[in-house]
């Protein structure tokens, strides 16, 4: 509307409006798709990565802990089920936070929790098919959410550019209106050495 007020045609307002509409539509689409993909990779991890149950410890035995789990892998290789010591580079969060889902796919330390890890050569195969698929799913989700963020930034930039350009155009338009005025000025003009005559000057600027 600022463009139209300043006398611009419809091209610039339509362009700015189209960018605005497209950026918001894209934001909602990618944000929704990214959240859906996030729910998908979390469900996949819950179905294929297992921490292991260390409750019920008695007489040096964890009766509820399966060998083919993350804590079972720790016990098998390090004789501990706690990863908080300096011997480990990462510590698994106590709850399933964003960091939890990032770590189980990102770091080799957590490879023992993937169910298909135990079906192959555990000495050489760290990135299993399920882990690799999981990391691809997380990347897709992050890419979608990053795109949503970029489209939000585009909308903000569009606001700033259109407002700045409209302000310049409107300022120029207002100056033109201000200059298109009538003025009347009275003065005395010297007619002779000892005589002045009154003068009235009428000016129209356009």
Kindly report, residue by residue over 95-106, the tens digit of the pLDDT: 999 999 999 999
In a domain, 26, yes or no: yes
Local confidence band at 164 (pLDDT 50, 70, 90 cut-offs): confident
In a domain, 185, yes or no: no
Domain with 168, as residue range(s), is 2-179
In a domain, 187, yes or no: no
- Angstrom distance (rounded) from CA 88 to CA 29: 40
In a domain, 193, yes or no: no
Q: Please check the confidence at residue 69 and state whether its pLDDT lies above 80.
A: yes
In a domain, 49, yes or no: yes
Q: Please check the confidence at residue 180 and state whether its pLDDT lies above 60.
A: no
How many domains in the chain? 1
Comparing CA positions, the residue from 29, 30, 11, 46 lying closest to residue 134 is 46
| pTM, rounded to two decimals | 0.75
Q: Please check the confidence at residue 10 and state whether its pLDDT lies above 70.
A: yes
Position 16 scores a pLDDT of: 85
Local confidence band at 1 (pLDDT 50, 70, 90 cut-offs): low
Q: Find the angle CA(18)-CA(12)-CA(6) to the nearest 5 degrees.
A: 135
In a domain, 192, yes or no: no
Which DSSP string do the residues of the chain spell out, in sequence order? -HHHHTT--SHHHHHHHHHHHHHHHHHHHHHHHHHHHHHHHHHHHHHHB------S-BTTB-TT--SSSHHHHHHHHHS-S---STTSS----SS--HHHHHHHHH-GGGGGGBGGGGGS-TTT--S-HHHHHHHHHHHHHHHHHHHHHHHHHHHHHHHHHHHHHHHHHHHHHHHHHHHS-EEEEEEEEEEETTEEEEEEEEEE--
In a domain, 116, yes or no: yes
Who contacts 92 (Cβ-Cβ below 8 Å, separation ≥6)? Answer: 51, 70, 83, 100, 103, 104, 110
Give the pLDDT confidence of 102-126 residue by residue, as tens digits.
Answer: 999 999 999 999 999 999 888 889 9
In a domain, 200, yes or no: no
């Amino acid at each position: 509307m600022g463009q139209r007020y300043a006398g611009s045609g419809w091209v610039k307002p339509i362009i700015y409006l189209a960018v605005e509409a497209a950026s918001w539509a894209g934001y909602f689409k990618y944000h929704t798709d990214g959240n859906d993909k996030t729910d998908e990779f979390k469900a996949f991890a819950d179905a294929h990565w297992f921490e292991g149950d260390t409750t019920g410890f008695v007489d040096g035995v964890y009766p509820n802990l399966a060998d083919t789990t993350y804590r079972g892998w720790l016990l098998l290789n390090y004789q501990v089920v706690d990863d908080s010591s300096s011997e480990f580079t990462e510590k698994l969060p106590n709850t399933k936070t964003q960091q939890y889902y990032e770590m189980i796919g990102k770091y080799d330390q957590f490879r023992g929790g993937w169910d298909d890890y135990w079906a192959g050569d555990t000495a050489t195969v760290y990135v299993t098919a399920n882990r690799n698929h999981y990391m691809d799913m997380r990347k897709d989700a992050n890419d979608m959410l990053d795109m949503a963020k970029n489209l939000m930034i585009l909308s903000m930039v569009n606001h700033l550019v259109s407002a700045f350009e409209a302000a310049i155009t409107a300022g120029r338009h207002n100056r033109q209106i201000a200059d298109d005025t009538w003025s009347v000025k009275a003065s005395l003009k010297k007619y002779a050495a000892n005589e002045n005559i009154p003068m009235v000057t009428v000016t129209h600027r356009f």
